[in-house]
């Protein structure tokens, strides 16, 4: 488990993580969906050579993981930990990724583009995430021939990434806005401003646990500082609205809110079966309760790590066996009960 969404950093009670992703392609190869197996292998070798060359100058060196060398459950844990995309996990024959020793930076190879550089940090840290990803991009760009056009900028497989090739996203926990029925309006307004709002696992994923991912949709014609500034502005507005919504709930519906939080705690500490979706919803209620001082028996850090641990692949890896869905629901409930009644997430690993 990466603890990649453990809360820390600015606005940690609302902002789970900040992520910067840079898409790059090499001039001498077709896009991945048109590449032969031999070309895919040659591309991997070129990228490996470049990463090896920059290794001595990196305080947190990268290691290479070929997806064909790991089992499907392990592949899916990396998706659940937000270190690789579902699309890359579905391409085990030709795909792989680099990850640094801190699990802050990763580089996907042979996903939709030849190379996708990513940095993910806790809390609202877009500038720092951009700085780390940009430095890595610059160093690799001195060794690899990235495809660049003077008119369009960096060339990518998807037209919406052409230009800077930069996609920036922030993961937010917005329970109060959701409870008060404002979330659909927020999603619509963000779309009107050129931003996408997606579920916890990105494009096409379901909204669960009141977690929402906001990202830029267009890179062509914009410079990186402008993209970062625009997204940070809208995120700060959303944070302000969520805080106001929480105050509204406290002042007008405090008893109902306390009842909801403690009912969720009761279910989580006594249930014998929990689906992923309902567990994430009840844990969202607990996170809200912790943020508002209603619950003191667990921390935000415990709850965020627990959300990662109860995902299907992470749960099976923790249990050390493949589980049918009904078995996962039972083991998930057992694990949640144990953690919430006997100790934090760290105790489970001892």
Does 21 appear as a known binding residue?
Answer: yes
Does 171 appear as a known binding residue?
Answer: yes
Does 62 appear as a known binding residue?
Answer: no
pLDDT in tens, 164-211: 999 999 999 999 999 999 999 999 999 999 899 998 877 667 889 999
Angle 224-252/126-141 helices, nearest 10 degrees? 150
**Alpha-carbon distance 149 to 220, whole Å?**
12
pLDDT attached to residue 205: 73
Does 127 appear as a known binding residue?
Answer: no
Does 266 appear as a known binding residue?
Answer: no
pTM for this prediction:
0.91
Using alpha carbons, list the distances in angstroms from residue 243 to 173, 246, 256: 11, 5, 18
Does 63 appear as a known binding residue?
Answer: no
pLDDT attached to residue 204: 67
Length reported for the chain: 350
**Alpha-carbon distance 200 to 185, whole Å?**
19
> Is 245:257 a contact under the CB 8 Å cutoff?
no
pLDDT attached to residue 8: 59
Query: pLDDT band at 350, cuts 50/70/90?
Result: very low
pLDDT attached to residue 297: 87
Does 82 appear as a known binding residue?
Answer: yes
pLDDT attached to residue 7: 45
pLDDT of residue 1 exceeding 50: no
The pair of three-digit structure tokens given for residue 4, joined into one six-digit string: 């990649």
Does 291 appear as a known binding residue?
Answer: no
pLDDT attached to residue 161: 87
The pair of three-digit structure tokens given for residue 169, joined into one six-digit string: 């996203």
Does 320 appear as a known binding residue?
Answer: no
Does 6 appear as a known binding residue?
Answer: no
Q: Which residues pair with 85 in a beta bridge?
A: none
**Alpha-carbon distance 40 to 32, whole Å?**
7
Does 198 appear as a known binding residue?
Answer: yes
The pair of three-digit structure tokens given for residue 236, joined into one six-digit string: 């700060």
CATH class of segment(s) 15-244: alpha beta
**Alpha-carbon distance 214 to 199, whole Å?**
9
The pair of three-digit structure tokens given for residue 217, joined into one six-digit string: 């949709």
**Alpha-carbon distance 308 to 324, whole Å?**
19
Does 68 appear as a known binding residue?
Answer: no
Distance from the first to the final alpha carbon of the chain: 14
**Domain range list for the chain:** 15-244, 254-348
pLDDT in tens, 307-335: 999 999 999 999 999 999 999 999 999 99
pLDDT in tens, 246-301: 999 999 999 999 999 999 999 999 999 999 999 999 999 999 999 999 998 888 88
More confident call, 61 vs 130: 130
> Is 16:171 a contact under the CB 8 Å cutoff?
yes
pLDDT of residue 348 exceeding 70: no
The pair of three-digit structure tokens given for residue 320, joined into one six-digit string: 């050390």
Does 327 appear as a known binding residue?
Answer: no
Does 342 appear as a known binding residue?
Answer: no
Does 251 appear as a known binding residue?
Answer: no
Does 294 appear as a known binding residue?
Answer: no
Q: Is 185 exposed, middle or buried, given 0-12, 13-18 or 19+ CB atoms closer than 10 A?
A: exposed
């Amino acid at each position: 488990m990466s603890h990649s969404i453990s809360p820390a950093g600015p606005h940690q009670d609302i902002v789970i993580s900040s992520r910067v992703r840079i898409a790059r392609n090499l001039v001498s190869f077709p896009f991945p969906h048109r590449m032969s197996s031999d070309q895919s292998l040659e591309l991997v070798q070129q990228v490996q050579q470049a990463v090896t060359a920059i290794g001595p100058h990196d305080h947190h060196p990268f290691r290479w993981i070929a997806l064909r060398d790991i089992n499907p459950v392990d592949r899916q844990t990396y998706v659940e930990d937000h270190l690789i995309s579902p699309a890359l996990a579905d391409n085990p024959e030709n795909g792989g990724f680099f990850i640094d020793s801190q699990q802050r930076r990763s580089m996907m190879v042979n996903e939709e583009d030849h190379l996708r550089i990513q940095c993910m940090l806790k809390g609202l840290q877009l500038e720092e995430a951009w700085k780390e990803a940009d430095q890595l991009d610059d160093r690799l760009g001195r060794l690899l021939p990235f495809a660049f056009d003077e008119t369009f900028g960096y060339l990518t497989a998807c037209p919406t990434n052409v230009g800077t090739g930069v996609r920036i996203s922030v993961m937010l926990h917005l329970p109060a806005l959701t409870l008060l029925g404002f979330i659909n309006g927020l999603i619509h307004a963000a779309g009107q401003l050129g931003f996408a709002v997606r579920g916890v696992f990105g494009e096409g994923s379901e909204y669960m646990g009141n977690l929402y991912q906001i990202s830029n949709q267009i890179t062509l014609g914009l410079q990186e500082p402008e993209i970062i500034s625009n997204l940070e502005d809208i995120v700060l507005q959303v944070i302000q609205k969520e805080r106001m919504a929480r105050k509204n709930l406290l002042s007008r519906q405090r008893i109902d809110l306390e009842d909801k939080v403690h009912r969720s705690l009761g279910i989580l500490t006594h249930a014998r079966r929990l689906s992923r979706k309902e567990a994430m919803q009840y844990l969202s209620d607990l996170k809200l309760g912790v943020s508002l001082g209603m619950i003191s028996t667990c921390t935000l850090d415990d709850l965020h790590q627990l959300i990662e641990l109860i995902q299907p692949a992470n749960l099976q890896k923790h249990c050390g066996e493949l589980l049918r869905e009904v078995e996962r629901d039972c083991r998930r409930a057992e694990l949640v009960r144990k953690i919430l009644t006997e100790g934090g997430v760290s105790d489970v690993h001892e």
